[in-house]
Amino acid sequence: MPQNIAEFTWSVDPTGYRWEPGHRLAEAAMPPGAHLWDSMVARGTVPALVSSRPNAEGPSRWYTPDSGLYRAFAELDGSEAALVDFANRYGELGGEGDEVYDRKDPWFTYHEQWEAADRTAVEGELENSGPEMPDSRRIECRAETLHGWWMEISAMRMCIDLHDMLRSAAPVARLGRHFSYRDRTVGMDDDEKSVFLFNSVAEEAQRRSALWSTEVWLRDARQPNADGVMSSPDPDDPGFYYYYQVRTYRKAEYFGFYEIRGLYTHEPDDDISEFTTTMLSAVVNAHLTTRVDTELLIDPRSGQPVLFAMPTSLIGAMWLQLAQAVDGNKDFRQCVSCRAWFELAPDKARADKLYCSQACRSRAYRTRRGRVTR
């Protein structure tokens, strides 16, 4: 990763944002570096984030995100109100958005009719009496859906927790509670085997009440070739053997599924810390893909060309913040006044610093004085 990060600014619509209901996902919401081999189209409709007044005139509000914004994002509870409040303060996530059906697309109507028929059909009846499939290609359309926000928050929450556990005093003991191992002779599919299951919520009894819960399966996708040698199932990627299968839940409601090809070089129980770092890197990389550019720019201080990383969206900037925190082993603390996260570093903040800014320090001082004088 380039050590130099270009200054990133992002815009906020001054008229605010709202959730517009009635959008239908064409594919499950997933990070740009993920794969989806099976059809996992979400049923029903989901809301999408839109400008409150899309045609209103007036300048946008521009700002530079604080380095700890990614932690504030990962703490969101996923409610529509909380996400709109975040968007009104920091703007849309940007990026590629989620694939949805255009409301004028015959495929939108087709899925609507199919689901309506499926609710009342007798088992097996739809094969002969279902709606007629459109003969046109789907209209390309993208939107920033509620499921897309949930997918990003749950993944970032898991990655932050993984990094915090890796940095703890007893990482092996803490991580070990989250892993369970599967017999390689019995897989979820006939031709693929499960190596292990990681769950972000260690205790099974707590998963139903957990705000976010993420399962990560490591799957062995190797298949025997004509000579009986186990090899990659993808002829275009002969080095590919394993992949991570990610399933995401909010309050025990299953809402997301995607797959990530990742490096796998040893057994999880050989060195659980090293393996967790590998898994963490694979997930972060899948979310950084296409969202951060690199460019050779002239450093104004030295006049020399320097390689810079340049986020292309707010969600890209926040994943880059997380990647920088992992790379630099950074510490963060919440301001005791405004609850914003700020970085603790010799050149930025003392280890005992409690406030993110002088304004928060002064506000807290005035509050204390007010209590004394009353």
The tens digit of pLDDT for each residue in 211-245 reads 999 999 887 776 666 666 666 656 666 555 678 88
Same domain, 199 and 342: no
Q: Which residue has the higher pLDDT, 372 or 141?
A: 141
Identify whether 46 is part of a domain: yes
Identify whether 342 is part of a domain: yes
Identify whether 282 is part of a domain: yes
Identify whether 172 is part of a domain: yes
Adjacency order of strands within the sheet including 305-311: 4-5, 305-311, 292-298
Pinpoint the alpha helices (H) of 167-256: 171-176
Predicted local confidence at residue 358, as pLDDT:
79
- CA torsion, points 233, 235, 239, 245, in degrees to nearest 10? -40
Identify whether 94 is part of a domain: yes
**Considering just the CA atoms, what is the radius of gyration of the chain in Å?**
24
| Whether residue 189 has pLDDT greater than 90 | no
| Whether residue 155 has pLDDT greater than 50 | yes
Query: What are the CA-CA distances from residue 328 to residues 159, 163, 324, 337 (Å)?
Result: 15, 12, 6, 26
Same domain, 274 and 356: no
Average of pLDDT values for 263-285? 78
Same domain, 204 and 342: no
Same domain, 368 and 264: no
DSSP string covering 239-250, please? T--EEEEEEEEE
Strand (E) or helix (H) holding 21: strand 17-23
Same domain, 220 and 343: no
Identify whether 132 is part of a domain: no
Residues 6 or more apart in contact with residue 21 via CB below 8 angstroms? 45, 47
Highest mean pLDDT of the ranges 257-261, 286-290, 343-347: 286-290
Last residue of a domain, one of 329, 344, 359: 329
Last residue of a domain, one of 296, 313, 329: 329
Q: Which domain holds residue 342?
A: 332-373
Q: How confident is the model at residue 65 (pLDDT cuts 50, 70, 90)?
A: very high
Same domain, 285 and 344: no
Strand partners, 345: 349
Q: How confident is the model at residue 164 (pLDDT cuts 50, 70, 90)?
A: very high
Same domain, 238 and 145: yes
Same domain, 341 and 195: no
Highest mean pLDDT of the ranges 182-191, 259-268, 314-323: 314-323
Predicted local confidence at residue 63, as pLDDT:
93
Predicted local confidence at residue 223, as pLDDT:
66
Residues 6 or more apart in contact with residue 318 via CB below 8 angstroms? 65, 69, 70, 73, 156
Residue 94: both structure tokens together: 């940007």
Last residue of a domain, one of 314, 329, 344: 329
Same domain, 233 and 347: no
Same domain, 283 and 363: no
Same domain, 280 and 357: no
Same domain, 339 and 317: no
Smallest CA-to-CA distance from 156 within 334, 27, 338, 283 is with 283
Average of pLDDT values for 278-288? 93
If one counts the domains in the chain, the total is: 2
Identify whether 116 is part of a domain: no
Pinpoint the alpha helices (H) of the chain: 69-74, 80-90, 106-120, 126-129, 146-166, 171-176, 272-288, 314-328, 358-373
Identify whether 131 is part of a domain: no
